[in-house]
Amino acid sequence: MTNNQIMFFIFSAVIVIFSILTVTSRRILRAATFLLFVLVSTAGLYFMLRFNFLAAIQLTLYAGGIVVLIIFSILLTSQVGAKLELPGLSKKIYALIAAAAGAALCIWTILQYNFPRTSIESGRTSIDDIGKALTSTGKYGYALPFEVISILLLAAMIGSIVIAKKRKD
């Protein structure tokens, strides 16, 4: 086994174990912490593939941003030691069906795709290329999606400010 394979198995094991713990833990803050480990290990996989930029973004956005937001909202609402109630049987069955359907769809898609060898060497995506792709309008340019997301974010921010601001009447 090569070193890369060993690292891959370590990361995968962490991802699988902590994913399961995330959904089975009955303490909500522990679940959020386990989710953090899953996201950090995913970033580790990206580092292994030498997609450094993607890995750093994964760390900043998911681990540093989204998990922190989740923890913040838990801190504001939850009590130490409070355990979540177990869901009823019908809920469990529906959740199982939904999860199985999602997993089946993903696995089927992955198996159908035959992963052709790309000519691009991994780890050669420079920041220059990413920056140019984000702002170009031509082929493989992401200017339009980038702008659409910006407008969506702006709308969300204005909306939240309007909701949060108290009316003076």
Partner 1 sequence: MASTNIYDNFVTSLTQSIHNGLYSSMSPTWALITELAIIGFVFLMFYALVGLFLVYAERKVCAFMQNRVGPNRVGKYGIFQTIADFIKLLMKELVVIKNSDKLLFTLAPFIIIIASFMAVAAIPFAKGLHAIDFDIGILYVIAVSSLGVVGVLLAGWSSNNKYSLIGAMRSGAQIISYELSVGMSLLTIVILAGTMQFSEIVQGQEFGWFIFKGHIPAVIAFLIFLIASTAETNRGPFDLAEAESELTAGFHTEYSGIKFAFFFLAEYMNMFLVASIGATIFLGGWMPFHVSGWIGFNQVMDYIPPTFWYLGKTGFIIFLMMWFKWTFPRLRIDQLLTLEWKYLLPINLFNILLMAFIVLMGWHF
- Which residue ranges make up the site for partner 1 (CB under 8 A)? 3, 27, 29-30, 33, 36, 40, 52-53, 56-57, 59-60, 63-65, 67-68, 71-72, 74-75, 80-81, 126-127
Q: How far apart are CA 36 and CA 42, in angstroms?
A: 10
What separation in angstroms does the CA of 10 have from each of 17, 32, 38, 43, 132? 11, 21, 12, 13, 35
CB 3 → partner 1: shortest distance, Å? 6
Q: Which is nearer to partner 1, 72 or 108 (CB)?
A: 72
CB 163 → partner 1: shortest distance, Å? 19
Q: Which is nearer to partner 1, 126 or 136 (CB)?
A: 126
CB 153 → partner 1: shortest distance, Å? 15
